[in-house]
């Protein structure tokens, strides 16, 4: 009996060859230098900010080079799969306007691209074609080690301080005669398929990582599993080889935790004689914690999850900007010179990534975001807060929908000017900062006048709205009216005079405007009172004075 018999016994239905597949997924017809990148998440949970950094880099590299960015669902670990994980990733990609050029979405049955299926569990036959080839070549073999045997090998290796894994004399089934292997399979024994490694741990090879430079590794000599016994699907390593080869990926952007797998991937590509893609292993995301800098933690840091940014209502462009500043140290300088350019026009250089870790600073994001929102039009702010509230604050959403023009006037306070006011960091803050403008919220609020005696306050407000408040004044006239009232009521209308001789007055114009402000908004700090009153309009102003009195 031959290796071919063994291969046919294991994969009776696999009739295609690797050459057939390569023909079917021919090299892409792209312009010279175009990069093909992919985001290849395992649907095992929420999306981490580190994943997002990878996506942004994938996207900018592909778009900047007029290449392709595709999404591949790596769902071979079906025990760990979490419902809705891929749908959430899709949602994030759409929200950030980084839709992949090729993808496959099971929920909506949508697919695009000629290199699919883009879901690993649908590619079983493709992987098995490659595995069958290795079996025939004698470069892979069925391994009948049971879980108990493997546990005991691992224990003894740990005890003897040896390298962990199946190699050398631990690879018990590596040289099992074909006949015996066939017998065992026919008798129904369980097996995985392992690579028959030809590497030598004592030999080293050099490997160039685009972000980390030249690295040196010992060759892989482990007979790593390439197909699991449970579902006939490949392990991550093998799927990486097959998929990135057939999908014609040119650049693999992935987390630094994969660097230690390079010897395995190097051997796999070499075994088939395939050209390896280029690799960009991206740094861990760090955060400042007091004086210390540490790895951002999904357990303790809410900002480690992408859902955080959506809940807060950061404009997506601000989050991308903040991520780009940690992706490449020269991004900020580029942005200063290209304030209106799309971020994909930036020529990302993996070399300019920090290999020791990327420090992500929320204060910095806040600054970027504040600045970004301050430069939007009032319409854009309104659209942004409306979209945010639709998911996160239904009540506010209804109010916003009822008063679009009015809301835009509020957001326009000190906006259309050279240095616009920087009021809002994210959309969830807008209600906190403008609620008093809406009667729906204002009606249940209480006032705090601090040190001002109640009778005095009442008298002043009455005097103001009966004698001095007029609608449609210019700011100057409006201010003159208040000054006149100050003179009448014994408050200094001129601050300099007041400071020189405070005892001569009951107070100053600052106290007067403060009292008016509190009566109309309940707050002692707001944007320009004249603007507020103008937007509230005479009817609301009068109602509020009356409500107060």
Query: Which stretches of the chain bind ligand GLU, using CB under 6 A?
Result: 40-42, 74, 240, 252, 254
Strands in 228-362 per DSSP E: 251-255, 278-282, 285-289, 292-295, 358-359
Quick one: tokens of 287? 């955060």
Helix, strand and coil content of the chain, in percent to the nearest 5, comes to 50, 10, 35
Contacts of 250 (CB under 8 A, 6+ apart): 34, 35, 36, 37, 67, 277, 278
**Minimal distance, residue 76 CB to ligand GLU, in Å:** 9
Among the listed residues 193, 167, 170, the one whose alpha carbon sits nearest the alpha carbon of residue 6: 193
CB of 40 to ligand GLU, least distance (A): 4
58 or 511: whose CB is closer to ligand GLU? 58
Task: Report in angstroms how near the CB of residue 246 gets to ligand GLU at its nearest.
Answer: 15
Q: How far is the CB of 45 from ligand GLU (least distance, A)?
A: 10
Q: Which residues of 434-467 are buried (b: 16+ CB within 10 A; e: fewer)?
A: bbbbbeeebeeeeeebeeeeeeebeebbeebbee
Please give the Cα distance from 68 to 205 (Å, whole number): 31
- Segment (H or E) for 197: none
Compare residues 7 and 40 and give the one whose CB is closer to ligand GLU: 40
CA pseudo-torsion sign 293, 295, 299, 303: positive
Peptide bond into 117 cis (omega under 30): yes
Taking the complex as a whole, the smallest distance from the CB of residue 130 to ligand GLU amounts, in Å, to 17
Which segments of 274-376 are extended strands (E)? 278-282, 285-289, 292-295, 358-359
171 vs 193: CA distance, rounded Å: 12
The smaller minimum CB distance to ligand GLU, of residues 194 and 240, is found at 240
CA–CA distance, 252 with 280 (Å, rounded to integer): 6
Phi, psi (rounded to 5 degrees) for 32:
-50, 130
Please say which residue, 42 or 481, places its beta carbon nearer to ligand GLU: 42
In the complex, least distance from residue 528 CB atom to ligand GLU, rounded to whole angstroms: 51
DSSP 436: G
CB burial of 22-35 (b: ≥16 within 10 Å; e: otherwise) equals eeebeeeeeeeebb
* Cβ closest to ligand GLU, residue 56 vs residue 512: 56
Closer CB to ligand GLU, residue 70 or residue 438? 70
Nearer residue to ligand GLU within complex by CB, 42 or 111: 42
Collapsing DSSP to helix, strand or coil, 281 comes out as strand
Instruction: Output 212 or 407, the one with its CB closest to ligand GLU.
Output: 212
3-state class of 293 per DSSP? Answer: strand
In the complex, what is the shortest distance from the CB of residue 265 to ligand GLU, in angstroms, rounded to a whole number?
9
Q: Which is nearer to ligand GLU, 40 or 285 (CB)?
A: 40
Q: How far is the CB of 47 from ligand GLU (least distance, A)?
A: 10
Q: 40 or 304: whose CB is closer to ligand GLU? A: 40
């Amino acid at each position: 009996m031959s290796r071919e018999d063994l291969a046919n016994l294991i994969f009776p239905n696999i009739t295609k060859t690797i050459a057939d597949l390569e023909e079917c997924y021919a090299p892409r017809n792209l312009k010279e230098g175009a990069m093909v990148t992919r985001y290849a998440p395992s649907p095992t949970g929420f999306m981490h900010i580190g994943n997002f950094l990878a996506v942004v880099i994938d996207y900018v590299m592909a778009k900047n080079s007029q290449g392709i960015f595709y999404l591949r669902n790596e769902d071979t670990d079906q025990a760990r799969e979490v419902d809705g994980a891929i749908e959430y990733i899709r949602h994030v990609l759409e929200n950030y306007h980084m839709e992949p050029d090729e993808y496959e979405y099971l929920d909506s049955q949508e697919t695009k691209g000629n290199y699919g299926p883009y879901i690993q569990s649908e590619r079983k036959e493709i992987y098995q074609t490659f595995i069958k080839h290795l079996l025939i070549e004698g470069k892979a073999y069925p391994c009948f080690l049971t879980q108990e045997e493997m546990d005991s090998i691992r224990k003894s290796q740990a005890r003897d301080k040896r390298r962990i894994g199946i190699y050398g004399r631990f690879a018990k089934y590596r040289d099992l005669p074909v006949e015996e292997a066939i017998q065992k399979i026919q008798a129904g024994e369980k097996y995985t398929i392992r690579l028959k490694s030809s590497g030598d741990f004592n030999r080293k090879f050099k490997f160039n990582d685009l972000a980390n430079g030249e690295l040196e590794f010992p060759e892989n000599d482990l007979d790593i599993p390439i197909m699991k016994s449970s579902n006939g699907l490949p392990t991550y390593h093998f799927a990486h080889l097959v998929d990135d080869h057939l999908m014609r990926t040119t650049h693999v952007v992935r987390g630094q935790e994969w660097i230690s797998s390079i010897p395995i991937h190097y051997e796999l590509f070499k075994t088939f004689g395939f050209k390896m893609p280029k690799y960009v292993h991206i740094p861990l995301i760090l955060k400042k914690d007091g004086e210390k800098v540490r790895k951002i933690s999904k357990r303790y840091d809410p900002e480690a999850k992408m859902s955080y940014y959506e809940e807060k209502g950061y404009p997506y462009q601000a989050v991308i900007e903040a991520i780009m500043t940690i992706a490449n140290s020269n991004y900020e300088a580029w942005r200063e010179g290209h304030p209106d350019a799309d971020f994909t026009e930036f020529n990302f250089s993996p070399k300019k990534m920090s290999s020791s870790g990327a420090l992500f600073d929320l204060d910095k994001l806040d600054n970027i975001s504040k600045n970004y929102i301050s430069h939007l039009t009032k319409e854009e702010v309104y659209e942004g807060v409306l979209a945010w509230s639709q998911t996160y604050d239904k009540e506010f959403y209804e109010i916003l929908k009822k008063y679009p023009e009015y809301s835009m006037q509020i957001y326009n306070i000190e906006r259309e000017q050279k240095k616009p006011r920087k009021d809002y960091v994210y959309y969830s803050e807008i209600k906190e900062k403008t609620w008093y403008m809406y009667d729906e919220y204002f009606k249940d609020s209480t006032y705090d006048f601090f040190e001002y005696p109640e009778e005095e306050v009442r008298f002043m407000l009455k005097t103001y709205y009966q004698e001095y408040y007029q609608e449609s004044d210019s700011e100057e006239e409006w201010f003159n009216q208040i000054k006149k009232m100050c003179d009448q009521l014994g408050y200094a209308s001129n601050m300099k005079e007041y400071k020189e001789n405070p005892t001569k007055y009951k107070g100053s114009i600052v106290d007067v405007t403060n009292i008016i402000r509190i009566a109309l908004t309940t707050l002692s700090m707001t944007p320009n009172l004249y603007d507020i009153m103008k937007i509230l309009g005479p009817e609301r102003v009068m109602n509020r004075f009356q409500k107060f009195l």
